[in-house]
Structures are given as structure tokens and as C-alpha cells.
Structure 1
Amino acid sequence: MTQPEPTPRTPQRLFSRGSFLESSRIAEVLRAETTGGMLLIAGALVAIVWANTAWSGSYADLRDLRVGPESLHLDLTLGTWAADGLLAIFFFVVGLELKREFVAGDLRDPRRAALPVVAAVGGMAVPALLYVAWNAGFDGDLAGWAIPTATDIAFAVAILAVISTHLPTGLRTFLLTLAVVDDLLAITVIAIFYTDELRPTYLLLALLPIAAFAVLVQKRIRSGWLLVPLAVVAWALVHESGVHATVAGVLLGFTVPVVRQAAGDGPGLAEHLEHLVRPISAGIAVPVFAFFAAGVDVGGLQGLRDALTDPVAVGIMLGLVVGKTIGISGSTWLLATFTRADLDDELSWVDVVGMAMLAGIGFTVSLLIGELAYGAGTPQDEHVKVGVLVGSLVATVLATIVLRSRNKVYRRIQEKEQRDADRDGVPDVYQQRDAREDPSGL
């Protein structure tokens, strides 16, 4: 008896679009990040201009102004408050995003999670290796190895808005998920490698308000009068423990439940808190941090020359521009090769390279790691800022050239993704199943 021919396995698709609900959520998040990114760029530009004028002393005085109760060891400079305090809000949103991605997003499916996770790991490992190799060869300081490993999603999507690039849904989802995984790896690096002195007692005490916060949110209690004080106490105790205080934000975000209790209960608590806190993070916390962190006094052409010849700054630029491009596109190619996956229809490897270049915009977390590695206001920290700014600028220009060259293709894909012939509110492309498409995607 003749055996039936086995059904050929449908090849996996990289950068395939997800469900309509997931795509709508991604679009909403990126709109908020675009606004925040514009404010971030504005804050950084104001700081850079101010720090290089005759009034640069007033900028330094403002940044170094101490505010807070000395008895609680919280008499911090405004710059430190921005880095330790406001960025904790940013990382709280990161915690919410991570929790949602692992519970209800792309990262819950190992096959779909493989691409952003592999790309993020490659996009951090190669820049770090390039930085170490360059500085080891030129007797530079290796402490800043993690500086070029971070991607600034707000800055990146703001650049996309400025250059008017219509990225397809699959690429936009990949960019956001990559940034989420990147943030998780970055906060892990900060907690492990940039904690100089650990005070376990304070860290153990911090678990008490975090646990109380977790109990309240698990019971779906949304009162800010209860949650905010607990979050502040947890932040203060983590700050005193020696671990960077932004870790408290991620831990608190992890405690918030994502899944709704019942179908008619409205948005889940994680979604509710994200809608409340994301505008504060994107519109206030990150731009204010950028204002206080980006104000580097270049010192004219000679100062710029000195900075750009420092192995630390050159290593950062190599990591952001070359390392991110090779790390992300190379790891994606390896994943496609070993899994025999294909790129989604109408996309090419040029798009992957363009996205990898865009990920070379490292700003917020890169500047934070620079301060932790060398100390705020030190000569090396100033060179770090120059390296991050110049590297991000070069990455922006290269990504703009590559992505703009593909804009006609992106417009065509976007029109297809928005077409709704039956006018039921859901684009037709999300209701069609191509026989060649792998439903689970990658």
C-alpha cells in the first residue's frame, strides 16, 4: 500500500505581523514613545547648547544643586535625582512591558520570542566585545564596556517620525520587543556589574514594601494613596542598599498582574497603570534626565578632538555604529540559517540592516551606565557623553539613509495592512491566512 506523502513543513517567517490586537497595542505604544522621543531630543539639545555657552556655569550649578533630606541620605543633586529617581519611573514602565510580553505578548511563545531575544543578545554582546577589544589595544579603561550595549527606543522612534518612515507592522513589533529585551538585559547588567557596595540589610528591608505592593496589586487595588507611598519607600531602601535605585522600578512593575480577572472587567491592571505612568515617563522623566545628562562642555574643537581620541569614546562609537549593526543583523541571519526561516514577504535583509543601525541609537541607558562606570562630571564621563552623542548621531544618519531608500516598499506594505474592504474595523490582512505563512510566526 502506497504511503501518503508527508505534508511539507511550512517555513517559518521572520518579522511576520502578529494579531490585530497586538499590532494595535504596538502602534499605540510607539505613538507615545514618539512624543517622548521628541521631548527627549529637545531636552538634550537645550542641555548641549547651554553647556557650551558663556552661561555654562549656571547649567552646572543647576545640575549639581542638592535637594532632599540629609538625615535620610537623600540630599542628592538634581542630576542624581533625575538618574536615580525619574528613571525609576521609566524602568517601572519597562517592568510592566516585560511582564506583559512574557504573559500575553510575543515573548510568551518561545518561537516568536526567539528572534528579538537572539537579536538583543547579539546586539549587546558584539558592541561590548568591540569596546573591550579597542580599549584593550589602546590601554583604555574597560569599566565602560556596557555603555554601547543599550538601545534607546524613544529616541529611535522619534527619528522614524522625523524621517517619515512607514515601517511595516512586523518591523515595528520587532523594534519594540527588541528594546524591551534590551532593557531587561541592561537593568541586569546595572544590578550585577555596577553595584560597588552592597548593603544586604536595606535590600532585604526593600522586599517588605515590594511585597506589600504586590499583595495590593494582586487584589486589583488601584489607589495611588496606597501604591505610591509603598513604591517610594521601596525605591529609597533599594537606593540605600547600593543597588541602583532604578532596579526597584522594574521589580515593582513585575508584580503587577496582566491578565484580567473576568471578560467584562475592562483593561487589566498592568494596562491601566501603563496608561497612567507612560505619559509621565515619556513626557517628563526621560526628557528631564536627558537634559541633566547630555549637557557636556565640549571645550571647543580642541576639547572635541581630545574626546574623540579617547579610546573610551571611540570604543563607544564603534560599539553603537558597527557593533549594533553586526550584532543584530548577524544574529538574525544566524537564526534564519539554523532554523531555515525566511523573511516575511516583501522584506529583505536591507531592512534588517537598517533596523540594526537604528538600534545603534543608545542614549538614556548608555548615559546612565556611563555615569555609573566613571562617576558624574569626571573627564571620562564627559568623553562618554561625546561618544554616545556622536555614535548615536552617526547611527541615525546611516539608518535614515537605509530606511528612507526602502520607504516606497514600506508605504505599499502599510497600505495593504490598513485596507479594510468589508469595513468591519479589522484590516483584511489580519483576517486572511496565506497558505505559505506559519500561523505562529517567529
Structure 2
Amino acid sequence: MSQPAAQLKDRFAAELTAARERSNALTVELLDERELTTQHSPLMSPLVWDLAHVGNYEEQWLLRAAAGQEALRPDIDHLYDAFENPRSERTELPLLSPTEARTYNDHVRRRVLDSLDTLRLDGTPLLAGGLVFHMVVQHEHQHDETMLATLQLREGAPVLTESAPAYRIAEPERPRELPAEVFVPAGPFTMGTSGDPAAYDNERPAHTVDLPAFWLDTVPVTNAAFQDFLADGGYADQRWWSSAGWQWRLRRGVDAPAFWTRDAGHWWRRRFGRMEPVPPDEPVQHVSWYEAEAYATWAGKRLPTEAEWEKAARHDPVTGSSRYHPWGSTPPDETRANLGQRHLAPRPAAPSVAGAAPCGALQLLGDVWEWTASDFTGYPGFTAYPYREYSEVFFGSEYKVLRGGSWATHPTAARATFRNWDYPVRRQIFAGFRCARDAELD
């Protein structure tokens, strides 16, 4: 076994361990059995389903598909099939109890770690570069973010604890003056990737996209800016809404971002069971695509296309290349991006310039997922791999693309090519947005 392969396996072992520690911390180490088996919202699974699902996914891909081992629990595969069982029906299933789920997960993990010594990370597309390990680690962290969304929807006393975030105590030096928008010149850039083993199939293949010039907000829309929309009667004015968005707003009675309430002339929000004033300088979150679209129209702008977002985040006009992260190839850290549940909320807008993209835009990774104007479709030459149900079955106009990750997104999925998608009505996710507009021809 070559030394690079040995180092890669050590890395995967550490990443698998870190993901499981996070999953357990958000479930069996946080809540009792009643809370874990309760469906806190029809939009979400009971947390115990997510916990066993990540173990079952790991068994299917790392033990069966990668290591060629016999199934440990083929009898539960159908219980944890996300396509066979809608979220609203999962409490009706004979799920593993929290104790059984943790025991099963531990058993799977021991077998996976034992198999690392004999696996070759080459020879098959599934193992080349550790693709299947990247996939499983990211899958678990994505469910961890889903668990956090469930915990936000949960009623009752707070269970997630946090000390005062460092940026609330002593913020790093922040830029004193920033332009409201940055300019992205016209021209081609390379979108997507072809050689990254951590990338999902929907990020492939790399291809050239030629775009007209445009302006993009330097930072995501803040709570204060969104309150201006509220104060101007934005939710009650049909002019700013698409037909579908207006009908959704009326049907649901939506008049503010999710979890916001107004009391004594001030806006408050519920965040993981705590009521607190809405911080004016944080990026707005828990808004649907429809709300983002309406705000952008009210502001005389629009949502950026997915291609515009990626060009702003990646394109280096000096070298003509596309970066892995907005700032380059250096892994994310606290100075560059708010990721990985370091805090339980976004940072204030423009906390520092360390994470700036070549165009000057800030906070393109972390803090809040950003809605784009684009439908979720495959790139030219797309090939589903290793299974259609990750991406291809969702292609179409029913889903809108989100980019950039949130404060709850783990750094393993924090790359400028990563694509998320959801229904335009979704508000429980940690999503916000920034606006764009066409460049003037003067």
C-alpha cells in the first residue's frame, strides 16, 4: 500500500469518525427516546430515522458496494429508503429504536474501519480517489444539517447550547467601507468540475459558460434590509410577487420570514427554542425562493442565475482559471467562512475580507444557502453516477438551485461547485439570498 493511499485512508477514518460524533451529538446524546421518535414536523423525519439511515447508507456503499461484504441487515433496507417512504409516513414504520440504531451504526462502522486495510483506492470508478468515501462522509454531514433543521422546528425548551459566539464578543477587523455591489465582467468561465473525487455527479462535467456582464450584491441580503421590504408592505403588495408566489403566500398566510414574530414594534425570532431580537446585520435566513424573488423585484433587481453565482465565486480573471473556493485552494477556516456548526447562526454581513472572491464578493461560502434563479438540471454531458436517485430524479423545473452552504454545512461539502436544490416553498432550511442585476451598457 503506497504512503499516499495510507494517508488517504487515515483521513477517511478520521472524517467518518467526526461525522458520526456529530450525528450522535445531535440525536442520542442530546434527546431522550420520546423526542427522537417524535415527528417534530411533517416536513421532517423523526430524528431516529435519520440516525439509522446514515448507518444503512454507509453499510450499503462502504461494506457491500466497496468492500464486497455480505449485508448485515438487508431486512431494514426498505425502512431507510428515502424514496420508498415519504417523510410524513416514516413514524408509521417499524424503525430501529435509538439504542438499536446506535448499536447498528457502531457495528457497521467497526466493519468499515476494519476493511480499510484491504481496500485499494484505485482500479474501479467507485474507489478511485476515495470517491465512495467522500460520498458517504458528505451524505452523513448533509443529514446532520437536516437534523439541525429538525431541531429548529422542534417545540420546547432549548437543548442545543452555545456560548456567546466569538464574533459577538470581539469581532475581527471588518472592512469599514464596502461597495453595495461588485461588477463581474462579461466573458467565458469554466463551470463545474471533472477531476474532483469529492464532487457529486451533478457538479460534472466541467464546461464553458459565456455570460454577459452583471452586478452582484457584495454580501447576502441582511435582516435589516429585509425589514425595509416588510416595512414597505412588501408582503401585501402583489406587484412584487410571481403568480405562484402570491398564491403560496395567500394560502399559507405568510407575512414574514419563518420563525419571526413582531412584538411591541420590534421583530423577534425563535432560534432553537430561544426567543431573541432579530439581529439587523446578519444575513436573513429561513426565507423561501418566492420571498427571495419578491424582495429582489421590490429592490429593482433579480436573483442571480446559478452560472452567475458560480462565476462570481470562482472565476479568476487574472489566470482565467476557476478556483476551488472563492479565496483559492486553502481549506476553509474561521476567518474565511462560517461553516460546520461553529456557530448556530450566520455571522454578521462582511465579517472580514479573508474569504473574498476575485470579484470582491464576500460570504459566498457559509452563513446561508443562497437561492438562485435557476432550475435544477444536469450539465451538458451529465452522467448519473453512482446512482440516479442522488441527482437525476430531481432534475426539472420543480426544484430551484441553492449555492454556497450555510453555517450548518460541513466544510467537506463547502466547495464553489457544490449544488443544492429544494422546492421554492421551503423555509425550514438555512437559506437566504443575494441579488443581481444586468450591467448597464454605458
TM-score, with structure 2 as normaliser: 0.23
TM-score, with structure 1 as normaliser: 0.23
Higher relative contact order (Cα pairs below 8 Å, separated by 6+ residues): 1
Larger helix share, 1 or 2: 1
Larger strand share, 1 or 2: 2
